[in-house]
Amino acid sequence: MKISGRNKLEATVKEVVKGTVMAKIVMDYKGTELVAAITTDSVEDLDLKPGDKVTALVKATEMMVIK
Amino acid sequence: MKISGRNKLEATVKEVVKGTVMAKIVMDYKGTELVAAITTDSVEDLDLKPGDKVTALVKATEMMVIK
Amino acid sequence: MKISGRNKLEATVKEVVKGTVMAKIVMDYKGTELVAAITTDSVEDLDLKPGDKVTALVKATEMMVIK
Amino acid sequence: MKISGRNKLEATVKEVVKGTVMAKIVMDYKGTELVAAITTDSVEDLDLKPGDKVTALVKATEMMVIK
Amino acid sequence: MKISGRNKLEATVKEVVKGTVMAKIVMDYKGTELVAAITTDSVEDLDLKPGDKVTALVKATEMMVIK
Amino acid sequence: MKISGRNKLEATVKEVVKGTVMAKIVMDYKGTELVAAITTDSVEDLDLKPGDKVTALVKATEMMVIK
């Protein structure tokens, strides 16, 4: 199975904060902190918790460049 | 100046491909390839070219998690 | 493997149009036409072609509602 | 009036969950569950409630493909 | 008919550039230039051309803040 | 420093509402109300409050057109 989304970063979950609808997943990726805002439903569906090995996925059209 | 976007990855531009409207920026981030699809206008405005030190920016709501 | 993205529509590829950077994938989902704009690189990576059985994926934060 | 967003799915609202800022709208689309995360302000502006006939709207650049 | 997307800017089309898949729509909004990258299919479906009075639509989750 | 995101609107913050994970920033831009849904972490990082002069940033691929 392959996903068209081009950016796949293998990270480790550090923190999970659940709100009513949205949740925050803080991850560590090679020393850089990543933050994803996903639905709380997804957190429960994937059973996300600190220490999990995950892949952060970002579609190429969602990435900007600063120079 | 600070940007609300939570994910900032310091990367190096490896390749720039310009289409009529959209352009592809391939970057290296600590050995992982990143790909951003931005407008060709932006590439010209930022004068993006291989070797440039840039920051890839992703809003937290645009990042998914795979487990 | 599970993906946090909440919307997964099992569709059939009807048409693939490749531009320099971006490509258009037209799909059929139970009689409704779906259109995804993804990178041409992804099309080649997934070897997308008419007749393919695929899943269209949309993050919940990317879906609007009209009433 | 026409909208440039290419994906328009006629669905029925099944559930509305309101958080402080974001709300979750669960919809049924031809037997598939759709989930949109929109602002709670929008839910109130559109007066969204279970049973409503709505259209889920997704821009082509926000749709990925899995194969 | 109401759309959940919160940001609606009444603008005038200044320029339309069509690529194979994606098109660029440059608009004027009270003296500020807006740029939308939409599919070329949408441009044809809406028959977009310079001088058109349009509304630029942006979902709240797609807007960042710089300070 | 330049950002590839094409749409930059100079606005004034009118209201800040913080939820557990996401926050709503209401802004005034030349008489039009703008609404951004960003993480509550960002609001704290940027110390956003009513009266602040900010720039609302939107990537061209996130803007739709209604005609």
Instruction: Render pLDDT for A22-50 as a digit per residue (tens, 0 to 9).
Output: 999 999 999 999 999 999 999 999 999 99
Q: Contact A65/B56, CB-based, under 8 Å?
A: yes
Answer whether D19's CB lies under 8 Å from D35's CB.
no
Give E22's contacts in chain C (Cβ within 8 Å).
19, 21-22, 37
Q: Within an 8 Å CB–CB cutoff, is residue A46 touching chain C?
A: yes
- Condensed to tens digits (0 to 9), the pLDDT of residues C37-52 reads 999 999 999 999 999 9
Instruction: Give the C-alpha separation, C30 to C32, whole Å.
Output: 6
Mean pLDDT across E12-17: 98
Residue E15 binned pLDDT confidence (cut-offs 50, 70, 90): very high
Residue C25 binned pLDDT confidence (cut-offs 50, 70, 90): very high
Q: Say what the pLDDT of residue E22 is.
A: 98
E10-57 placed in CATH 2.120.10.90: no
User: At CA B22, angle to CA F35 and CA B60, rounded to 5?
Assistant: 40
Instruction: Give the C-alpha separation, B64 to C4, whole Å.
Output: 6
CATH class of D14-55: mainly beta
Q: Say what the pLDDT of residue E32 is.
A: 95
Phi and psi torsions of E41, nearest 5°: -60, -40
Answer whether A63's CB lies under 8 Å from A7's CB.
yes
Instruction: Give the C-alpha separation, C46 to C23, whole Å.
Output: 12
Q: Contact F2/A37, CB-based, under 8 Å?
A: no
Instruction: Return the SS3 of F45.
Output: helix
**Residue C42 half-sphere exposure, CB side, CA atoms within 13 Å?**
32
Q: Within an 8 Å CB–CB cutoff, is residue E18 touching chain B?
A: yes
Inter-chain Cβ pairs, chain E and chain F, closer than 8 A: 107
Q: Say what the pLDDT of residue B53 is.
A: 98
Q: Which of the residues in chain D have pLDDT under 50?
A: none
Residue C57 binned pLDDT confidence (cut-offs 50, 70, 90): very high
Handedness of CA A35, D39, A4, E46 (dihedral sign): negative
Residue B23 binned pLDDT confidence (cut-offs 50, 70, 90): very high
Give B59's contacts in chain E (Cβ within 8 Å).
61-62, 64
- Condensed to tens digits (0 to 9), the pLDDT of residues D14-33 reads 999 999 999 999 999 999 99
Torsion of CA B51, C44, A59, A42, to 10 degrees: -140
Instruction: Give the C-alpha separation, F56 to B13, whole Å.
Output: 26
The CATH number of domain C12-56, selected from 3.10.20.30, 2.30.30.100, 2.40.50.100, 3.10.150.10: 2.40.50.100
Q: In what order do the strands lie in the sheet with C32-39?
A: C32-39, C22-29, C7-18, C53-58, D64-66
In 3D space, the residue among E22, A9, A18 whose CA is nearest the CA of residue B20 turns out to be E22
Q: Which chains touch F (3 or more CB pairs under 8 A)?
A: A, B, D, E
Q: Within an 8 Å CB–CB cutoff, is residue A4 touching chain D?
A: yes
Domain ranges of chain A: 13-49
Q: Within an 8 Å CB–CB cutoff, is residue C57 touching chain D?
A: yes
**Which token pair is C45?**
């990576």
Q: Contact A38/B65, CB-based, under 8 Å?
A: yes
Nearest CB to C24 within list E2, E5, E39: E39
Mean pLDDT across C53-64: 98
Nearest CB to A57 within list B25, B34, B64: B64
B7-59 placed in CATH 2.40.50.100: yes
Nearest CB to A6 within list C1, C2, C41: C41
Q: Within an 8 Å CB–CB cutoff, is residue A24 touching chain B?
A: yes
Q: What is the ipTM of this complex?
A: 0.97
Give A1's contacts in chain C (Cβ within 8 Å).
1
CATH class of A13-49: mainly beta
Torsion of CA E42, A37, A35, E9, to 10 degrees: 40
Instruction: Give the C-alpha separation, B61 to B50, whole Å.
Output: 29
Structurally, what CATH architecture does the domain formed by F9-57 represent? Answer: Beta Barrel (2.40)
Phi and psi torsions of D13, nearest 5°: -70, 130
DSSP 8-state code for residue F3:
B
Instruction: Give the C-alpha separation, D11 to D58, whole Å.
Output: 13
| Average pLDDT value over all residues in chain C | 97
Handedness of CA E61, E62, E66, F1 (dihedral sign): positive
